[in-house]
Amino acid sequence: MIFLGALSVVILFAWLVIPPLVSQVGQLGDDIPTYVQSLSERDDALGRYFQENDVAEKLKTFVKKLPEKITNSFGTIVGVAGKVGSAIFNIVTVAILTIYFMLSLPRMRRTAAIWFAPGMRDRAEDVMDQAISRIGAYVAGILTTASIAGTCALTFFTILGLIGLGIPFAVPLAVFSGLLGLIPAVGAYIGAAPAVIVGFFQSGLTGVVVLVYFIVYQQVENYVIQPRIMKNAVNLSPAAVIISTLVFGSLAGFAGAVLALPAAATIKVIIVELFLRDRVAEGDPIAQETLEEHDRAEAEAAAEARARASARKRMIRRIQDRLRKRRG
């Protein structure tokens, strides 16, 4: 059921987004020479740069030679097609393995618990359950953050259009910025680059406004949105979210940044369950105070989750009531 639900969401997303995305991306490719020509005719620093370096003529020459280059690169195209086929095969393989892992997770947990002494198995299973729950919450958290980023970008582009500073291809640019937001640290900047470039194609003012928006939004996301979402998702403080990302990213690069939060949440679970509670049992007052603070934060997070679930249920009921009244 979980797998089919996720697949349904992907299909719905593709049905709503891919058709306008493809058409607008194609239109963007067709309009690039026009944008470059208009830039070369502008009387500002960017226009003078295009004129001095003859960018428009270079682009026209490149476009004319493109069919010949494509013909000469047939082997490369075949290689790319092979890589695409390999990627599709890998996706199908991962999907099938995901189903098997989901079905076998309880058995895998019991098998892993066998490695512990009989008196520690219940405790080990509890630690594994909490760690898996934190990792799942982290995945939900980054998906939520990326969705907020894409929605805010599309809303901002719509507002720009209403005040006469709009940029074309708002849907693909917003979707791209949201998807790249899944990549920690650098993803948001890479996702913002196409929108900023298209904004400068329109006018210098539009480009500056779009650039300022993404800079401001990225700061809000880094220090407000993401820490709050991840605090509720993995029960880490905002400071721990930022520090763990910086530390793991510095130690292991991109992979470390991706795995920073689930790794930090898992380490916290292990410390609390296998170290802190033992110190409390030994009568350590500082450990007792720390554990009480941890349990209080857990209870607050659970209460907030229940409140959000209740709010969603009330909203769904109101929508259903309104639909019934309209039908009546």
* pLDDT in the model for residue 110: 75
- Lowest mean pLDDT: which of 24-33, 65-74, 142-151, 164-173? 65-74
Mean pLDDT of 7-25: 69
Higher pLDDT, 44 or 205: 205
Give the model's pLDDT for residue 145: 84
If we measure between CA atoms, which residue out of 326, 304, 188 comes closest to residue 235?
A: 304
Which of 259, 289, 258 is CA-nearest to residue 276?
A: 289
Render pLDDT for 62-75 as a digit per residue (tens, 0 to 9). Answer: 656 655 655 555 55
The pLDDT tens digits for 223-245 are 777 777 766 666 776 677 777 77
Give the separation between CA 314 and CA 311, rounded to whole angstroms.
5
**Average pLDDT of 254-275?**
78
Nearest-angstrom CA–CA distance, 328 and 316:
18
- What pTM did the predictor assign? 0.59
Q: What is the structure's pLDDT at 184?
A: 62
Non-local (6+) Cβ contacts of 283 within 8 A are: none
